[in-house]
Structure formats: structure tokens, C-alpha cells
Structure 1
Amino acid sequence: MKNKYFPDEEIEMNDLYFVCYMIERVARHIKQKNKYVVNTIGRDGLYHLLSCANVLHCENPLKVEEDWIKDYNLKAGDYDVTAVDQELASIIPSPLDMGAVYQRLIRDTIGSKEDYVDGIMKVYNNEICDVIDNYNCSAFYEPSYVIARAYQNGGF
């Protein structure tokens, strides 16, 4: 996928990882699902953010988070992905962990005619995210090929 602002440059897998990580951070901060963040930012916004990711990753993540919330008019909700049953889930994955899970899922399921924006929109709008983001179960711990197979088969 070509960079929007520098057509000679490719958007790299690390840029996708950064955007997935920030989607997770922002969603947790405003207490919304990742799907809300992705859909509110939209295709054009995601393409812009992927194209700027190689620069944005050098910024303070708190500043980037606040900028996304302000720039895309993201509203607070009441969904807390970290509210888990302590007897079932002793460890809550970090936004970095979940960014990696989603980056790998997008990488493993993207079609030959799709770009990273298509992959983000497709994956984050899939029902499997409700299972992956349920930290009371262990779906997010599964190897990436297991998660990709579950995605393609319609569930775990």
C-alpha cells in the first residue's frame, strides 16, 4: 500500500501495528469498542493515519491519543474492556499486546486486492472482535493462525 503523502514510500507492517495499538489505546481511554473508533475515523482518516504512522510513533502516545479524540470527534462511552472477572482473568493484555493481535489478524486475512484500510475496516467490524476482546476467555492468547482460522470460519 502506497503512502498517501509520499507515493514512493510503502506503508509498512509496523505502521499498521502502530495504528492498531492506537485504536486500542483510544478505545480504552474513551470507553468505547474498537469498532466505534475505526468507524468514526473512517476510511480516509485511517489512510491518513497509516500514512503518518512512521512519524506519529515518535510522538508521545498520550498526545496522539488526545489528538485522535479531538480530530475525529470521538465521544466517551461506557464500555470498559478491562472490566473482567478477576477469578477468570488475572492478566489483562496491554494496548501494545492487543495492537499486535489485531495487526497479525489483519495481515493473515487481508485479500490480494485489499489494502490495510480495507483490512482494518473488515476485521474490526467482524463479530469475532467481541470474543477476542473478552479478556475473561483466552481467545487473544491463541496463536495468530488459530485466530485467523476462527475469523475465516466465523468463530472459535
Structure 2
Amino acid sequence: MTAKERNDYFYVCALIEYIARGTLNHRGDIVKAIGEEGIKKLLHDAEMDHCLSFEQVSDEVISYYKIKKGNFDTISNCKYSIPSFLDIGKLYSIMIEDCAKQGEEVQELINIFSSFISDKISEFNTDLYYQNPDYLEWSYRDGKLLD
């Protein structure tokens, strides 16, 4: 993956996290609503969208893909420090780069955000986000949290 591609994936992953928090949706629901072609378009536009606020791009994506409010609120009742949407976006982009076969990065993004690990990472009242990224990656690959 090139440096530009890394930046684009980081941006899109952070945007997905931002949208999910704002609309109270599971991250997988956001990815499903946007779809594979939409993800590809977001990646294509990422370099230009970097110049815009996350709020503006988020509003445009929510409107265009008709993303409705959900009830997956992982922030309001959180007792602990919440990682930023950028921190979470970085984690997802690293997992994609580590797990994806060359040329299959978009599908890996969809797979990761749609997997059990995404909801587990979003449980900010646990310490899962703060675990070693390798632990998260191998748990994802194994399909369950490792003992």
C-alpha cells in the first residue's frame, strides 16, 4: 500500500467512525448503507475531502446514502476516556493494511467493519480498544476474542 493509499484508508475509516457515532449506528451498518462502490468513491475522493471538515463530508454522506438514526450509542454512558474517531480510524486502517491481500483492501474494510470485532472495539466501557493492535487483528482473523 502506498503512503497515499494509507492516508486515504485512514481518512475513510475515520469518516465511517465519525458517521457511526453521529448517527448512533453500528459501523457495519454504515458500511452496508454506503456499499462497496460508495466506499471506492470515498477512497477516490479522500484526497480532496481532506480539505473539508468531517462534519461537512459526514452530512453529505448521510444525506446521499440516506443513513437513518440508529440506537447504538456507545458514548453517552461511557465512564472512561473515549478514543477519538481519528484514533479508531487509524486502528481500522492498520488492520486493513495488515489483513488485506493486495487489491482486496476495499473488501477487507467491509469485512472488518462488518465483523464482531467492530462492535467490540466500539464498546468504550471496556479496555479492548487499548489492547495490543496485534491482539485485535488476530482476534478478528480467528472470529472471536482470543483468550
> Deviating runs (4+, > 4 A) in structure 1?
none
Determine the structure 1 residue equivalent to 2:46. 53
Amino acid at match of 2:6: M
Determine which structure has greater relative contact order: mean sequence separation of CA pairs < 8 Å that are 6+ residues apart, divided by chain length. Answer: 2
CA distance in 1, matches of 2:103, 2:89: 23
Q: 1:102 aligns with which of 83, 92, 95?
A: 92
Q: Across the two proteins, how many residue pairs are aligned to each other?
A: 145
Q: Report the Cα offset of residue 51 of structure 1.
A: 0.5
Q: Report the Cα offset of residue 111 of structure 1.
A: 2.2
* Identity, % of aligned positions: 30
TM-score, normalization by structure 1: 0.86
Indicate whether 1:30 and 2:20 are aligned: no
Structure number with bigger Rg: 1
**1:95-134 Cα shifts (integer Å, max 9, x gaps):** 11111111111111112451x2111111111112121111
Normalized per residue, the structure richer in helix is: 2
CA RMSD of aligned residues (A): 1.8
1:15–1:53 Cα contact (<8 Å) kept: yes
Q: Report the Cα offset of residue 11 of structure 1.
A: 5.6
Matches within 5 A, 1:4-153: 12-86=5-79, 90-112=80-102, 114=104, 116-153=105-142
CA distance in 2, matches of 1:91, 1:35: 23
Amino acid at match of 1:125: S
Segment of structure 1 superposing worse, 143-152 or 41-50? 143-152
Unaligned 5+ segments in structure 2 are: none
**1:42-79 Cα shifts (integer Å, max 9, x gaps):** 00000000011011011111111100111111111121
